[in-house]
Structure 1
Amino acid sequence: MSIIAVARRYAEALADVAINAKKAEETDRELLILSELFARNRELRTMYSSPIVKRKDKEAVLELLIARLKPGAITANLLRTLLQHHRLHNLDVIYREFRREMDRRQGIVQAEVTTASPLDNSQQNMLVAELQSITGKKINIEYKVDGSLIGGAVTRLGSVVYDGSIKTKLKAIQQQLKTAE
């Protein structure tokens, strides 16, 4: 089973528990902090992915981490479960899937919009309104700027990409000219 499929199972179960306990936001904040900690600390990731490091040593470090960061019971239990099943080094993937699951349950769609130059507030508001009317869901947009697009925008909604950039249109024209020769 792929790590994404495994992470999705943990994420769905975690979302169920966190929502039922009314601790979803707290769990989200704690997992964000922990996944960033693991992302920044290569030694930590290496230790938890290594079969050479003894389980009791991994448990001792985890308990120190829990004592120091003081996460809630849900997060602490998740960490212990991940350690038990040799998945703690995949915390970043599990957190990402947890975020997706929470967004899905709240009717939120993540979007990424890349433009050649920054959009002003009114343009951003118009884009949000348009995407919400298309999807029928709340939209959370991450804006990026890429000058190589020349103009237009590339919008990614989940796995669907809408490419309205001038760069792509010019490439298409160039390809047509090459095949016409």
Structure 2
Amino acid sequence: MSTVSTEVLQPYASALMSLAQSSNLSEKFGEDIRSLLDLLQNSEDLRQFLANPLVKSDAKKTVIKQIAGEEMNPLMYNFLNLLVDKGRILFLEGIGQQYLAKLRELNQTVLGEVTSAVPLSDAQLQSVREKVQAMTSARNVEIETKIDPDLIGGVVIKVGSQVIDASLRGQLRRLGIRLSS
């Protein structure tokens, strides 16, 4: 585990989880974090703005207030302002991911990362969810999807350190290895 992870991400994520649990807001904070991570992943400008040390704290807080809107829990909003005050807002993505990992652990949920060549239908996602659940015997399964046209077809499913490569690219690679030996 990296130094940043142990010294910054873990303590802040743990503090946020403690706050969430003491206020019965674990799931609400999870929703807020997912929304924030979505925003950060879809806006390079926002990521750079928050990470820029030359941008004044007040400007960052103003943007966070606009992002938070009425939907975000006030405690989460205060936590974000604390990150700005402590110069840690640039770690928001990592802290958010750590928090979601803690939330999954709390709910006995596993994360299945599914990469496919094209978007999967609801039925296909449900099928993947059931396979992951059978594989791990977890109570719940959370699916995170990514699109990678290079796979040609099929899917790659990653659960923890386990990888199931059922992609056409993977099959072609395995066939190529067999033919060359």
- Alignment partner, residue 94 of structure 2: 93
**Map of 1:48-67 to 2, 5 A cutoff?**
48-53=50-55, 57-59=56-58, 61-62=60-61, 65-66=64-65
**Map of 1:102-113 to 2, 5 A cutoff?**
102-113=103-114
1:137-165 deviation line (CA, Å, top 9, x unaligned): 11122456666546654211133211233
Fraction of identical pairs, as percent: 26
CA distance in 2, matches of 1:50, 1:159: 34
CA distance in 2, matches of 1:36, 1:120: 20
The code of the aligned residue for 1:62 comes to K
SS at structure 1 position matched to 2:24? coil
8 Å CA contact 2:57–2:85 kept in 1: the answer is: no
The code of the aligned residue for 2:57 comes to K
CA distance in 1, matches of 2:49, 2:122: 45
- Alignment partner, residue 154 of structure 1: 156
Structure 2 unpaired stretches of 5+: none
- Alignment partner, residue 18 of structure 1: 20
SS at structure 1 position matched to 2:87? coil
The code of the aligned residue for 2:93 comes to D
- Alignment partner, residue 170 of structure 2: 168
Deviation for aligned residue 1:46: 4.0
**Is the radius of gyration larger for structure 1 or structure 2?**
1
Structure 1 unpaired stretches of 5+: none
